[in-house]
Amino acid sequence: MASPSPSPSVKAQAGIGGNNPRTTLLIDKHRSYIKSLDKDTQSLDYMMTEHLRMSGVYWGLTTMNILGSLGEMDEKKVIDWVLKCQHPCGGFGGNVDHDPHILYTLSAIQILALYDKLHLLDADQIAAYISGLQLADGSFVGDEWGEVDTRFSYCAISCLSLLGRLDKIDVDRAAAYIASCKNFDGGFGCTPGGESHAGQIFCCVGALAIAGALHYVDADLLGWWLCERQVKSGGLNGRPEKLPDVCYSWWVLSSLVILDRVHWLDKDRLKAFILSCQDEERGGISDRPDDMVDVFHTFFGVAGLSLLEYPGLKHIDPAYALPVEVVQRVLSRQRQTPA
Amino acid sequence: MEASGTTFLRDTDVWSDLQPVPQNDGPNPVVPIAYSAKFEEAMGLFRAIQALDERSPRALDLTSIIIHLNSANYTVWRYRRLVLVALGSDLWDELNFVYDIAMENSKNYQLWHHRRWCAERLGKECGDGELAFTELSLSKDAKHYHAWAHRVWVLREYDMWEGELDFCSRLIQKDMLNNSAWNQRFTVIRSYDKLGGLAAMLPQEMEYVKKHIWLDTDNESPWRYLHGLYNASAVDMHARTTGGSQPGLSIQGLREFAVLVTEKNPFCVHALSLLLDLEMQSIVTAINDEGNRSKTEGGQDSGTEASEGTTAQLKSICRLSIEKGRRLCSRLQEIDPLRKKYWHFKDGQLMSIAQRWE
């Protein structure tokens, strides 16, 4: 097994009193790291990620919410900017001047859900945009250019569920298409025949959970495959013989939580692995110990710890990738005012 | 046209009529964007072109420049397609452009989607080239997820499965740990009708997979493949209600193989797990036999000596399997502590069956 053990940096080993600061979650550091992100425009990262800013903002804000600090962000600026990224078709781009895509439509809806501002959207218009992306076989394209991927099935189902408009697509066919991407190892790929990959598995299991179609999943077989992703360092990989990476703490764990089998892996070792990937100076979490941190891994690390019930964190919903309280608020409001 | 060296686009005549549009980026637009000067300029011109909806040769060049600088920007790729269509550009040339970008960095969705868009328009004639392109990508990273996805699409779209099983064998020979190649192998057998389906391939595949397990008993991929063969055959058998024996798939043969592996490697989780599955299987079979027996007898001779004898016999088979299974579970908990709870769960399954039978 390719499982290099975490090698704490010399810096970390030389922590005050010999204590490794990477054994607890550095909540204040992560807060200030997230808050620094839109000021840190000198970085190459910022330049190269312009087109996916919508997802970046969703990762950052959801992290802040889980840390109990969403109030520290500039709500009005965020909402104004999100709304500016919407196109007449109803879909959202990854930034101003970027084309609409289902990936960023989901991130936009998630951001508005965090702020309890879904009423600002025309749900029927967005639902029409999304239902227009469904193909006859039940799959979804990401935009009018025709790329098909189970990631987009997840986006479609999650968006419409948050908007209370799941009835606008053929949910049965959507679920059947996802099932057609199931492999002999119990996992799921991007399209039929595609190799099982923990990221795709999250999308498929999450979508099936929201759609009420988990009967397509062989929970024991997939549960074991997911547990097998844990390597000796305690971290999780996304496919056999790949290196562990903090983002799989989310993709694997959320699937296991949905399948009610998260206790099958060693939670304490995984917690320790995620914590060892923190940058104790700047804040933020990286893919592996001592790598460069980014908002993507910071979100998945914190969200993973939330699923592991790390003290002081709000609970995150494994299927919607939003705080449980946000999902409950959205869904209970739908019950009060049906579409 | 290249934005190479220190030359800026504004210093060339081609762009002198355009005023770059600055980026209005994110919730904090007050802070100036720190794009490297060249990238900033190119993106500024792109936004200007986009605003004019200009679909011209220079617009195509501009997208080339930007994609070389950042190949993940989906909006630029999309605009490029609009221009390609408007200009009626030769998509064979476009494949060369994608090739150049891929040689720099092929780990992004946009590039592969664009490649696929071209290939769809070029039709079957590009099939061989596309397979070669994915082969080249896989020679650099044999687990390249996008390359595999593109390859499966080509194989399926243009029905080009013929050499694929050999391709998988070559990759597996090169690296037995390559899970992607094992997955592809399964896909080929399931998808390429001329191979005759799983049933026809089973004897050969069982030999193939056992040989590879033997070479590295801790390699998860062939174990999963074996499990896949075994499970899919069971499903196929079930589907053909006539039943019949599957050549190459004997429970006894599997058991002997797994035992042999544990003798070679006493810590082999997958071999012990297979033995556990087989014990489970014999328990389920015994329970089903008992169920069928009571049904056919319709309760008429229940209570007779013969009937009680059969039940006792099935129970004893079951009890033996439960005992063996539980021993395997405790061994697995010991040697695979990370997944101790999973093996504990399997043990619990056995115990609950045991309780139901007693």
| Residue A79: closest C-alpha in chain B | B27
Query: What are residue B83's phi and psi, to 5 degrees?
Result: -70, -45
Claim to verify: residue B243 and residue B312 sit in the same structural domain = no
Q: Say if residues B339 and B297 touch (Cβ distance below 8 Å).
A: no
Determine contact: A185 vs chain B, CB below 8 A. yes
Q: Give the contacts of B116 (CB within 8 A, at least 6 positions apart).
A: A147, B150, B153
Q: Say if residues B160 and B124 touch (Cβ distance below 8 Å).
A: no
Based on the residue annotation, tell me whether B315 is a catalytic residue of this protein. no
Contact A240 B152 (CB under 8 A): no
Q: Catalytic: which of B38, B107, B143, B315? A: B107
Residue B205 placed within a domain: yes
Claim to verify: residue B280 and residue B348 sit in the same structural domain = yes
Q: How far is B192 from chain A (nearest CA, A)?
A: 12
Q: Among B208, B225, B249, which residue terminates a domain?
A: B249
Q: Give the contacts of A50 (CB within 8 A, at least 6 positions apart).
A: A94, A95, A98, B23, B25, B43, B73
Least Cα distance to B110 among B67, B149, B53 occurs for B67
How far apart are alpha carbons B353 and B358 in whole angstroms? 9
How far apart are alpha carbons A185 and B227 in whole angstroms? 8
How far apart are alpha carbons B270 and B194 in whole angstroms? 32
Percent of chain A with pLDDT over 70: 92
What mean pLDDT is predicted for residues B324-339?
A: 97
Determine contact: A77 vs chain B, CB below 8 A. yes
Task: Give the CA distances from residue B309 to residues A165, B313, B315, in Å, rounded to whole numbers and listed in that order.
Answer: 60, 6, 10
Q: Mean pLDDT check: name the lowest of A290-299, A306-315, A326-335, B295-304.
A: B295-304
Claim to verify: residue B231 and residue B279 sit in the same structural domain = no
Least Cα distance to B94 among B72, B116, B69 occurs for B116
pLDDT in tens, A226-258: 999 999 999 999 999 999 999 998 999 999 999
pLDDT band for B233, please (50, 70, 90 cuts).
Answer: confident
pLDDT band for B358, please (50, 70, 90 cuts).
Answer: low
Q: Say if residues B187 and B197 touch (Cβ distance below 8 Å).
A: no
pLDDT band for A331, please (50, 70, 90 cuts).
Answer: very high
Determine contact: B221 vs chain A, CB below 8 A. yes
Q: How far is B301 from chain A (nearest CA, A)?
A: 39
Determine contact: A5 vs chain B, CB below 8 A. no
Contact A146 B220 (CB under 8 A): no
**Closest partner CB to A184 (pick from B31, B36, B228):** B228
Q: Say if residues B15 and B9 touch (Cβ distance below 8 Å).
A: yes
CA trace torsion B260, B265, B268, B274 (10° rounding): 0
pLDDT in tens, A152-193: 999 999 999 999 999 999 999 999 999 999 999 999 999 999
Where does A3-138 have alpha helices with state H? Answer: 10-13, 27-36, 44-48, 53-66, 75-84, 102-114, 123-131
What is the model's pLDDT at position B311?
A: 80
Residue B215 placed within a domain: yes
**Does position A142 have pLDDT exceeding 70, yes or no?**
yes
Domain ranges of chain A: 22-33+40-336
3-state secondary structure of A100: strand
Claim to verify: residue B258 and residue B353 sit in the same structural domain = yes
3-state secondary structure of A93: strand
**Closest partner CB to A99 (pick from B75, B113, B116):** B75
Determine contact: A254 vs chain B, CB below 8 A. no
Claim to verify: residue B276 and residue B337 sit in the same structural domain = yes
Q: Among B225, B249, B273, which residue terminates a domain?
A: B249
**Closest partner CB to B149 (pick from A42, A191, A269):** A191
Percent of chain B with pLDDT over 90: 66
Q: How far is A339 from chain B (nearest CA, A)?
A: 31
Domain total in chain B: 2
Least Cα distance to A178 among A147, A208, A221 occurs for A208
Claim to verify: residue B224 and residue B261 sit in the same structural domain = no
Q: How far is B148 from chain A (nearest CA, A)?
A: 7
Determine contact: B50 vs chain A, CB below 8 A. yes
| Residue A265: closest C-alpha in chain B | B339
Claim to verify: residue B240 and residue B337 sit in the same structural domain = no
Q: Among B249, B268, B299, which residue terminates a domain?
A: B249
ipTM of the prediction greater than 0.95, yes or no: no
How far apart are alpha carbons B344 and A41 in whole angstroms? 50
Q: Mean pLDDT check: name the lowest of A278-292, B206-220, B292-306, B312-326.
A: B292-306
Residue B64 placed within a domain: no
Contact B345 A51 (CB under 8 A): no
**Does position B59 have pLDDT exceeding 50, yes or no?**
yes
Q: How far is A298 from chain B (nearest CA, A)?
A: 19
Residue B357 placed within a domain: yes
**Does position B301 have pLDDT exceeding 60, yes or no?**
no
CB pairs under 8 A between A and B: 157
Q: Say if residues A18 and B7 touch (Cβ distance below 8 Å).
A: no
CATH code, A22-33+40-336? 1.50.10.20
Q: Tell me which residue has tokens 């998945």.
A: A300
Claim to verify: residue B270 and residue B351 sit in the same structural domain = yes
Tokens of B329: 């579970």
Residue B202 placed within a domain: yes
pLDDT band for B305, please (50, 70, 90 cuts).
Answer: confident
Claim to verify: residue B213 and residue B290 sit in the same structural domain = no
Q: Mean pLDDT check: name the lowest of A4-18, A52-66, A238-252.
A: A4-18
Contact B183 A196 (CB under 8 A): yes
CA trace torsion A210, A213, A214, A218 (10° rounding): -150
How far apart are alpha carbons A107 and A188 in whole angstroms? 23
Q: How far is A69 from chain B (nearest CA, A)?
A: 17
Question: Which positions in chain A touch B345 (Cβ < 8 Å)?
Answer: 264
**Closest partner CB to B34 (pick from A47, A98, A145):** A47
How far apart are alpha carbons B143 and B147 in whole angstroms? 8
Which of residues 56 through 75 in chain A touch B, CB cutoff 8 A? 57, 74
Determine contact: A183 vs chain B, CB below 8 A. yes
Q: Give the contacts of A337 (CB within 8 A, at least 6 positions apart).
A: none
Determine contact: B140 vs chain A, CB below 8 A. no
Residue B101 placed within a domain: no
How far apart are alpha carbons B62 and B45 in whole angstroms? 8
CA trace torsion A108, A110, A116, A121 (10° rounding): 40
Determine contact: B267 vs chain A, CB below 8 A. no
pLDDT band for A4, please (50, 70, 90 cuts).
Answer: very low
**Does position A16 have pLDDT exceeding 80, yes or no?**
no
Contact A183 B191 (CB under 8 A): no
Residue B152 placed within a domain: no
Question: Which positions in chain B touch A266 (Cβ < 8 Å)?
Answer: 337-340
What is the model's pLDDT at position B28?
A: 46
| Residue A193: closest C-alpha in chain B | B187
Category of B314 on φ-ψ map: left (φ > 0), alpha (ψ -120 to 50) or beta = alpha
Structural domain for B334, as ranges = 253-358
Chosen for mutation from A50, A59, A197, A239 (greatest number of chain B CBs closer than 10 Å) is A50
Which DSSP symbol is given to A195?
P
